[in-house]
Structure 1
Amino acid sequence: WTLKHDGHVRVDIFYRAMTPKRKALVDLCGTLFLLLPVMIFVLLSSTKYVGNSWRILEGSPDSGGIPGVFLLKTLIPLFAGLMILQALVEASRHFLVLTGRMNPPANDHDHAEERL
């Protein structure tokens, strides 16, 4: 949700004064060189871990603990997969802005100070 609505944290010292196309370039590079590689790493490194949990239908070792720990661990690669999908959407959007085929989205963060 935060990524989709551009609410994530970034160093805003230089970014705020950039043109929409320059912002799209920075966001595209961040998506391609930071977000996607990290999420691919999380996805690849968690599959064996989650697979082993499913193989034994892992539950909590504590008495009265959660019986379906394997289901909770499944959220790790699911999260990474969904983030990869959102990153691809964001990268496509930034590419379209860079090439002039899409207008940059209005950003509420740019006008937040005016509302205060």
Structure 2
Amino acid sequence: MTNHPRPGGRTRLLVLADRIDAVVRQIGEWATWLSLGMVLVTFAVVVLRYAFDIGSIALQESVTYMHAVLFMLGIAYTLGRNGHVRVDILYERLSRRGRARVDLIGTLLLLIPVCILIIWLGWAYVAESWRVQEASRETGGLPAVYLLKSLILIMPVLLLAQGLSNAVRNWLFLAGMDEALPSVDGEIGRA
């Protein structure tokens, strides 16, 4: 991506958006490996259960943990790749500038407030889980449920960061910086 000097610090904003995108992309790419982990652990659970008559609550719960981590960390990654499902009535018919306006307004009026609300409502819930060092209710289950519940706060923070990056890109594009938006392939923030 070319980064031409512009007045008013726009290039700094674009650099910040690129950095946010890179961090979210790295976390998302790491999280995708959990899908392989889920398959392997599920296979192990089945083999242990039916071939050796051995059950493991911890292994079964680990699949649930990996599933939660995969989705909670993958949400921002998917937003950054423009991969979320849209109910498209008019969006595809709009010009690129029209779509940038819709995306900017949607981010500012919907995404950011919802992320802030999730953080606000989830804070006490996660804090209480940490306070009591919440563990699995199942005998032999995984001990660190409080770490899993921390995703309730991590997910909206990552989503908020990616949303801000997208908002900056759309704002810069609407202000005349064509290189702020991704190319047609939908990939945002290619460093």
- TM-score (norm: length of structure 2): 0.54
Residue 90 of structure 1: aligned partner: 166
Structure 1: distance between partners of 2:139 and 2:84: 39
Deviation, 1:106, is 2.2
1:12 aligned counterpart, secondary structure = coil
Could you tell me how far apart the structure 1 residues matched to 2:176 and 2:86 are?
A: 24
> What code does the residue aligned with 1:27 have?
D
Residue 32 of structure 1 corresponds to 108
Q: Which runs of 5+ in 1 are unaligned?
A: 110-116
Tell me the number of residue pairs that the alignment of Structure 1 and Structure 2 aligns: 109
Q: What's 2:138 paired with?
A: 62
The alpha carbon displacement at 1:92 in A equals 0.4
What corresponds to 2:86 in structure 1? 10
1:114 maps to what in 2?
none
**Residue deviations 1:41-66 (CA, integer Å, cap 9, x gap):** 11111111010111111101111111
Q: Which one has a larger percent helix, Structure 1 or Structure 2?
A: 2
State how far apart, in whole Å, the 2-side matches of 1:73 and 1:79 are. Answer: 10
Measured in 2, the distance between the counterparts of 1:96 and 1:102 equals 8
Offset from partner CA, 1:54-106 (integer Å, 9 cap, x none): 11111011111111001100111011111111111010001011111233422
Q: Structure 2: any 5+ residue segments left out of the alignment?
A: 1-76, 187-191
Q: State the TM-score, normalized to the length of structure 1.
A: 0.87
Q: Secondary structure at the match of 1:2?
A: helix
Distance in 1, matches of 2:146 and 2:93, equals 47
1:47 alignment partner AA: W
Cα RMSD after superposing both structures = 1.4
Mapped partners of 1:71, 1:2: distance in 2: 23
1:22 matched to 2:98? The reply is yes
Which consecutive aligned stretches of 4+ in structure 1 deviate over 2 angstroms post-superposition? Answer: 102-109
Please state how far the C-alpha of 1:8 moved relative to its aligned partner. Answer: 1.4
Identity of aligned residues (%): 44
